[in-house]
Structures are given as structure tokens and as C-alpha cells.
């Protein structure tokens, strides 16, 4: 519906309301007149301003009937202006007939023209009021003129009339009609003006309310308001999206059911608000949404007051800071690894040279000396441990000073397939393990160092196999997408074409307190592990401007997800 149609509908409804008011007023006046007449009739008085004949009652009953007919046809009439004009004109004729039946010049009912004048002014404003006054003067004057010339004979009147009295009566009533028309038109025009102003103010208020609501709904932060008892009164779309809940269901819900620790925060906030240097209160909390995802929320809390300044609740503005937390943890991890790397580079070189000399010397002694079984066993242990220490230092150097990355656009699925084929012949692969390759139709090329990526996949397959001592499935998934698709993308991948590689095992999983440390060097839960495998993975992916994420649950396995930009 356009604006013109809306205005037309509003005008129609307004006229319909005015017509109903006109008919209701007519019924009230007729009922009042009939009631008073009957009371005087029952009190055995012969007349009440008029001779109480049967014609009077017939006349009143007839106009009752006409008003009922008006009411029946009001919904079928299309042009309500003409319908209202017709009713007002008919009222004038009815009043003129009433004056005739109640004595003409001697009747007390010319004053009732005033009601039609007022009704006309309320419906048609100034022009309606003066039309009604003019029409009333014309009809009353015509009635008096006909009575003066004896062309009509009102009931109960003598045939002789004084012309001066008729002229005087006409002038008095005409003056009264126009005075009433003038005053009622002023009132009606003023009411019309005030009504327009009120409508305009209502429109402005609605526009302002809509504008403010649109601002609140367009905020990229969640906003909700609570009363003093903690009941949620309002929340915007972003709040619904962050909380992943329906706003209608959350309204009238206690905020303390969502955030139990918020009660203590609000109490502290109230104490600080009483101080002159009150500031916004901020706090962070961890929320588990209905899908089981854990998200970090950062809140700012401010008092909500009414116009007189008294506290009526609180406003909470919050954001999902999960990605910021992940970035913060990543930066801490990078800083830790950078510090360890600088130390490792120097130590590894200093240890490796003496270790090579020791290993060579032991091998020479073993070949030249005659050793018994016990000594031979000790020599084997020494050589095996020196080799293990050398492998550890090799991995440590790979972590601390990885070789220069030589990126080329290379099919990522080909590297995955080659690594899986090699892994089938590794010592870590055992019976009961099944590797499910990615099912991708089109070739995905990524800017990577193929050798380093083989190292990444080898380490992840090795970890997955070691986590499944009794066998299980290792599922590899590969997908290419862009920002805004699929799962929540890390901030560093925002606005990029990215490739997501997920490696999921059905092993024993990782404990929550251990998950934060798995990328730290030398942290391991394996008996013979070096604690450098995942550190090397993290380092290589970082050098490729990517990210590593891990999701794990004890007893249900782990998923390592690699995000690699495909447009670099």
C-alpha cells in the first residue's frame, strides 16, 4: 500500500467515525426529547412546550426509523462525504417539519438547528458550519413567510400574525445561527489544526522510534536491557545472533540464568555508580550456546535510568571476543616459540657437534674392543640413545630454524595422497587403522612448500595413529571457500580465499588443560615423544600465513584443522 492509499484509508475511517458520531448524537437527542415528552404526558400535563399529539410521536418514531436505515447502509456507501451531506440536509428538513408540527413561529424548536450547525462544523469544518447556518436561516425564514401569508397553518396557532414579530423572530434566530456557526467553526478549525499537529508529532515520534530502533538493531554489538530484578526486557538482532537464541523466548528470562556470575558484577557496579567517578564496568565470561560451542563474551555494563534519574535497570553491550581470544593465545604461543627458537638455535649447534664426536668414538671403540655381552648391551644402549638425541636435535633445529620456504602452486590433495601412501609403510601405522582420503572432485592448488607440507601431514598422521592404540579411523577432509561460508573463520583468514584441511581421529582425545599446551615445544603425553611434532606443524603453517585449530574431547577423538590462504 502506497502513501496515497494509506491517506485515503485514513480519511475514510475518519469520516466513518464522524458519521457514527452524528447518528449517535441524533439518537440521543431524539431519545431525550421523547423521554421528556412521555414524562409530561404521564404527569397528566397537556403539553410540554408543544401540544402532545399523536403526530408528534409518529414524527419522532419515523426519524428513529430513518436513523436505523442510515446505520444499515453506512458500510455499503462508498462516498461518505455525500452520505454525510445528505444526512445533515435531511436533519434540517426534519427540524423544519418539527417546528411546523409544534406551532411554527410559536415553536421552541428552532433552537435545534444549532445542533445541526455544530454537527456540520465538526464534519465539514468552517464551510460546513456556514452552509448549515445559511440553510437553517433559509428554511426557517421560508416557514415563517408561508405562515405569515397563511399558506400554511401550523397546529395549534391562530390565523393572524404580527409581521414585526415574525421579522423579529427571524432576525434573532439568524443571528444565533451565524454566531454559533462562527464559534463552532473556530473550535472545529482549531481542533483540526491541533489534530494535524498531533498526527504529525505522532509520525515524527514513530519515525524517531523507528530510526532509533534501526540504529540499535544495526549495531554490530549485542545490546540488551534488564530491569532491577535481572529480567531481560529487550535485546537486538546481534544479541540474538551471538547468543544463538530467539529474542521472544529470552524476553522475561532472567539474565542470571544465562550468566550466573553477572549478579556479583552488577552489585559491584551499583556500588561504583554511587561514587562521583563512576565508569562503565567491563567483564568477560565464557558462554556455552545451545549447539554446545563455547564462546567468550566481553561485556560493558551501564545504568539505565528514567527521566527523573532514578535507576530502573541496566544496559549490557557485549561482543563475541572468541576470535580475539584465539588471536591472543596465538600471539602468546608465537612469542613463546620465538624466544625458545632463539635459545634453541644456539644450543642445538653447540650440542650437536660434541654429540657427533661421542657417537663416532663409541662406534670405533665398539669395533676395536673385545666386549662381553653386558658391555655390548651397554654400548648398544649408548649408541641408540645418541641416535635418539641426534634425532631430537634435528627436530629441534627444524622447529627453531626451519629451512627457507619455497612456495609454489601445487595440488594439495596430491601431497595428502603421497603422504598417506608413505605412512602406510611407517612403524606408527598398525593393523586396525583406516585412513579415509578426501573426496574432492576438482583439483585445489595452493601456494605452499610441498616438502614442508608433507612434514606437516606426516606429523599429524603419526600423532593420530599413536592416539589410536587399538585402531580406528583417520578421516581427511578438504574444502575450499571464502569468508562468510562454512564454519567460523579465524580473523587472519577474513576476506581471503582459503583452503581448509581437517584431520580427524577416533582416538582417546586431549584433556582440556593439555589442549592449551600441545603446540608448546617439548610438551608431550607420549612415553617416547619429543614434544616437537606439533610445534613443527604450527611453525610451518605459520610460515605459510595459515592457522592451526584443534578441537578435542576425551574419549571421542581429536580434529586438527589447517587454514591455508589459497590466493597468495
Query: Does residue 216 fall inside a structural domain?
Result: no
Which of 78-82, 400-404, 422-426 is least confident? 400-404
Tell whether 213 is covered by a domain: no
The total of structural domains in the chain comes to 4
Q: Which residue, of 296, 320, 344, is where some domain finishes?
A: 320
Q: Which string of DSSP letters, residue by residue, matches 9-58?
A: HHHHHHHHHHHHHHHHHHHHHHHHHHHHHHHHHHTT-SBSSSB--HHHHH
The verdict on 367 and 449 lying in the same domain is no
Sheet holding 497-505, edge to edge: 433-436, 472-482, 497-505, 557-565, 547-553
Domain boundary among 285, 320, 355: 320
Which one, of 99, 101, 2, lies nearest residue 56 by Cα?
101
Q: Is residue 396 part of a domain?
A: yes
Longest dimension (CA), the chain: 169
Return the pLDDT at 359.
Answer: 73
- Asked if 501 and 558 sit in the same domain, the reply is yes
Whole-number pLDDT of residue 276: 43
What pLDDT is recorded for position 182? 92
In a domain? residue 392: yes
Q: What is the pLDDT of residue 159?
A: 56
Assess whether 185 and 260 both reside in one domain: no
pLDDT range class, residue 7, cuts 50, 70, 90: very low
Task: Please give the grid coordinates belonging to residue 320.
Answer: 563475541
Q: How many CB atoms lie within 10 A of CB 279?
A: 11
Q: Which three cell numbers mark 46?
A: 397537556
pLDDT range class, residue 9, cuts 50, 70, 90: low
Angstrom distance (rounded) from CA 487 to CA 151: 98
Give me the pLDDT at residue 195, please.
Answer: 81
CATH number at residue 384: 1.10.287
Mean pLDDT for the chain? 77
SS3 334: helix
Residue pair 465/429 in contact by the 8 Å Cβ criterion: yes
Q: What pLDDT does 383 receive? A: 77
What are the respective helix, strand and coil percentages of the chain, to the nearest 5?
A: 60, 15, 25
Classify residue 214: in a domain, yes or no.
Answer: no
Is 532 found in the same domain as 438? yes
Residues 417 and 522 in one domain: yes
State mean pLDDT over 288-299. Answer: 74
Q: Are residues 11 and 96 in the same domain?
A: yes
- Encode 48-65: b = buried (16+ Cβ within 10 Å), e = exposed: bebebeeebeebbeebee
Q: How confident is the model at residue 277 (pLDDT cuts 50, 70, 90)?
A: very low
| pLDDT computed for residue 8 by the predictor | 60
> Residue 559 has what pLDDT?
92
Is 437 a member of any domain?
yes
Q: Answer yes or no: is pLDDT of 487 > 60.
A: no
Distance CA 352, CA 392 (A): 10
Give the mean pLDDT of 122-132: 88
Check pLDDT > 70 for residue 5. no
Read out DSSP for 83-115? HHHHHHHHHHHHHHHHHHHTTGGG-SGGGGHHH
Same domain assignment for residues 316 and 333: no
Q: In the predicted model, is pLDDT for residue 490 greater than 50?
A: no
153-177: average pLDDT = 77
Last residue of a domain, one of 341, 365, 400: 400
Q: pLDDT tens digits, residue range 347-363? A: 666 676 676 777 777 77
Q: Are residues 255 and 166 in the same domain?
A: no
In the prediction, which pLDDT does 554 show? 85
For residues 396 and 413, membership in a common domain is answered with: no
100 vs 282: which has the higher pLDDT:
100
The neighbouring-strand residues paired with 561 are: 502, 549
Under 8 Å between Cβ of 181 and 129 = yes
159 and 44 in one domain?
yes
Tell me, yes or no, whether 62 and 86 share the same domain.
yes
Q: Tell whether 291 and 337 lie within a shared domain.
A: no
Q: Residue 209: inside a domain, yes or no?
A: no
Higher pLDDT, 121 or 51: 121
CA 410 to chain centre: 44
Which residue range(s) make up the domain with 383? Answer: 326-400
Is 541 a domain residue?
yes
Name the β-bridge partners of 500.
Answer: 479, 563
Chain-centroid distance, C-alpha 97:
65
Extract the C-alpha cell encoding 49: 412546550
What integer is the mean pLDDT of 199-224?
Answer: 82
- Kindly report, residue by residue over 91-112, the tens digit of the pLDDT: 888 888 888 877 777 777 788 8
Amino acid at each position: 500500500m502506497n502513501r496515497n492509499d494509506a491517506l485515503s484509508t485514513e480519511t475514510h475511517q475518519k469520516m466513518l467515525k464522524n458519521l457514527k458520531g452524528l447518528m449517535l448524537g441524533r439518537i440521543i437527542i431524539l431519545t431525550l426529547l421523547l423521554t421528556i415528552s412521555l414524562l409530561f404526558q404521564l404527569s397528566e400535563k397537556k403539553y410540554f412546550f408543544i401540544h402532545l399529539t399523536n403526530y408528534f410521536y409518529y414524527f419522532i418514531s419515523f426519524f428513529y426509523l430513518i436513523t436505523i436505515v442510515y446505520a444499515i447502509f453506512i458500510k455499503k456507501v462508498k462516498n461518505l462525504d455525500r452520505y454525510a451531506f445528505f444526512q445533515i440536509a435531511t436533519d434540517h428538513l426534519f427540524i423544519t417539519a418539527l417546528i411546523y408540527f409544534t406551532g411554527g413561529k410559536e415553536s421552541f424548536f428552532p433552537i435545534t438547528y444549532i445542533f445541526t450547525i455544530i454537527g456540520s462544523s465538526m464534519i465539514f469544518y468552517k464551510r460546513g458550519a456556514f452552509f448549515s447556518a445559511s440553510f437553517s436561516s433559509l428554511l426557517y425564514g421560508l416557514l415563517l413567510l408561508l405562515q405569515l401569508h397563511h399558506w400554511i397553518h401550523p397546529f395549534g396557532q391562530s390565523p393572524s400574525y404580527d409581521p414585526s414579530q415574525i421579522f423579529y423572530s427571524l432576525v434573532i434566530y439568524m443571528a444565533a445561527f451565524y454566531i454559533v456557526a462562527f464559534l463552532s467553526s473556530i473550535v472545529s478549525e482549531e481542533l483540526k489544526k491541533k489534530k494535524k499537529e498531533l498526527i504529525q508529532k505522532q509520525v515524527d515520534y514513530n519515525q524517531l522510534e523507528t530510526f532509533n530502533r534501526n540504529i540499535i538493531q544495526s549495531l554490530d554489538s549485542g545490546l540488551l536491557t534488564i530491569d532491577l530484578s535481572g529480567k531481560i526486557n529487550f535485546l537486538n538482532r546481534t544479541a540474538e545472533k551471538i547468543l544463538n537464541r530467539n529474542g521472544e523466548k529470552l524476553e522475561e528470562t532472567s539474565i542470571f540464568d544465562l550468566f550466573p556470575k553477572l549478579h556479583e558484577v552488577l552489585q559491584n557496579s551499583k556500588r561504583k555508580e554511587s561514587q562521583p567517578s563512576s565508569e562503565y564496568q567491563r567483564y568477560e565470561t565464557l558462554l556455552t550456546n545451545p549447539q554446545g560451542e563455547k564462546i567468550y563474551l566481553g561485556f560493558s555494563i551501564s545504568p539505565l535510568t528514567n527521566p527523573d534519574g532514578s535507576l530502573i535497570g541496566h544496559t549490557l553491550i557485549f561482543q563475541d571476543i572468541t576470535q580475539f581470544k584465539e588471536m591472543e593465545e596465538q600471539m602468546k604461543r608465537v612469542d613463546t616459540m620465538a624466544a625458545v627458537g632463539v635459545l634453541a638455535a644456539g644450543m642445538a649447534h653447540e650440542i650437536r657437534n660434541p654429540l657427533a664426536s661421542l657417537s663416532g668414538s663409541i662406534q670405533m671403540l665398539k669395533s676395536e674392543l673385545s666386549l662381553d655381552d653386558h658391555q655390548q648391551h651397554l654400548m648398544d644402549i649408548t649408541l641408540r640413545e645418541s641416535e635418539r638425541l641426534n634425532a631430537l636435535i634435528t627436530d629441534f633445529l627444524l622447529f627453531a630454524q626451519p629451512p627457507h620456504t619455497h612456495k609454489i602452486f601445487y595440488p594439495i590433495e596430491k601431497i595428502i595422497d603421497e603422504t598417506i601412501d608413505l605412512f602406510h609403510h611407517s612403524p606408527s601405522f598398525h593393523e586396525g587403522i583406516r585412513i579415509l582420503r578426501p573426496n574432492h572432485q576438482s583439483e585445489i592448488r595452493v601456494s605452499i612448500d610441498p616438502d614442508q607440507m608433507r612434514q606437516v601431514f606426516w606429523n599429524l598422521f603419526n600423532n593420530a595413529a599413536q592416539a589410536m592404540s587399538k585402531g580406528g579411523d583417520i578421516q581427511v577432509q578438504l574444502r575450499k571457500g571464502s569468508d562468510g561460508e562454512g564454519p567460523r573463520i579465524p580473523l587472519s583468514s577474513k576476506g581471503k580465499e582459503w583452503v581448509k584441511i581437517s584431520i580427524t581421529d577416533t582416538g582417546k582425545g586431549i584433556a582440556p588443560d593439555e589442549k592449551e599446551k600441545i603446540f608448546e615445544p617439548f610438551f608431550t603425553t607420549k612415553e617416547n615423544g619429543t614434544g616437537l611434532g606439533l610445534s613443527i606443524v604450527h611453525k610451518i603453517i605459520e610460515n605459510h600465513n595459515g592457522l592451526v585449530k584443534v578441537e578435542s574431547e576425551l574419549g571421542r577423538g581429536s580434529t586438527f584443522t589447517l587454514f591455508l590462504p589459497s590466493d597468495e
